[in-house]
């Protein structure tokens, strides 16, 4: 029997785009912080700025990630330091009240 790789589309970009645009139109923010270096999000930044020009969208770029296109589309950008990411992580292991243990994958440590 042949096997094949199947990808699951989570629609994360679409949902994020809709949320940013909706929240801008509903005046739910003055400045949105977009934590991504995905240039695929440039259209939502441009459309949101077109619909609600007073809204600011700032891209916080993860460590070792860069997007010139996103930098041009956003009102500002900055890089999140690797130390900030490391310090914001949960412990290696958490045990819930139910006794279930949740462990951080080794490649995240």
| pLDDT computed for residue 84 by the predictor | 86
* Euclidean distance between CA atoms 46 and 86, whole angstroms: 32
Q: Rounded mean pLDDT of 76-80?
A: 94
User: Tens digit of pLDDT for each residue in 19-61?
Assistant: 999 999 999 999 999 999 999 999 999 999 999 999 999 999 9
Q: Which CATH class is domain 12-81?
A: alpha beta
* Euclidean distance between CA atoms 69 and 109, whole angstroms: 31
| Three-state DSSP state, 82 | helix
The whole-chain average pLDDT of the chain stands at: 89
Kindly indicate the confidence band of residue 8, based on its pLDDT and cuts at 50, 70 and 90: low
Task: Provide the residue ranges of all domains of the chain, joining segments of one domain with +.
Answer: 12-81
pTM for the predicted model, two decimal places: 0.72
Give the Cβ contact number of residue 94 at 10 Å: 11
| pLDDT computed for residue 87 by the predictor | 84
């Amino acid at each position: 029997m042949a096997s094949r790789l199947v990808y699951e589309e989570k629609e994360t970009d679409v949902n994020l785009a809709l949320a940013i645009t909706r929240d801008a139109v509903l005046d739910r923010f003055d400045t949105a912080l977009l934590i991504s270096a995905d240039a695929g999000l440039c259209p939502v930044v441009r459309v949101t700025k077109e619909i609600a020009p007073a809204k600011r969208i700032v891209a916080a770029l993860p460590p070792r990630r860069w997007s010139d296109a996103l930098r041009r589309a956003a009102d500002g950008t900055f890089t999140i330091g690797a130390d900030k990411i490391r310090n914001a992580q949960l412990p290696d292991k958490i045990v819930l009240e139910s006794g279930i243990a949740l462990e951080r994958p080794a490649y995240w440590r």
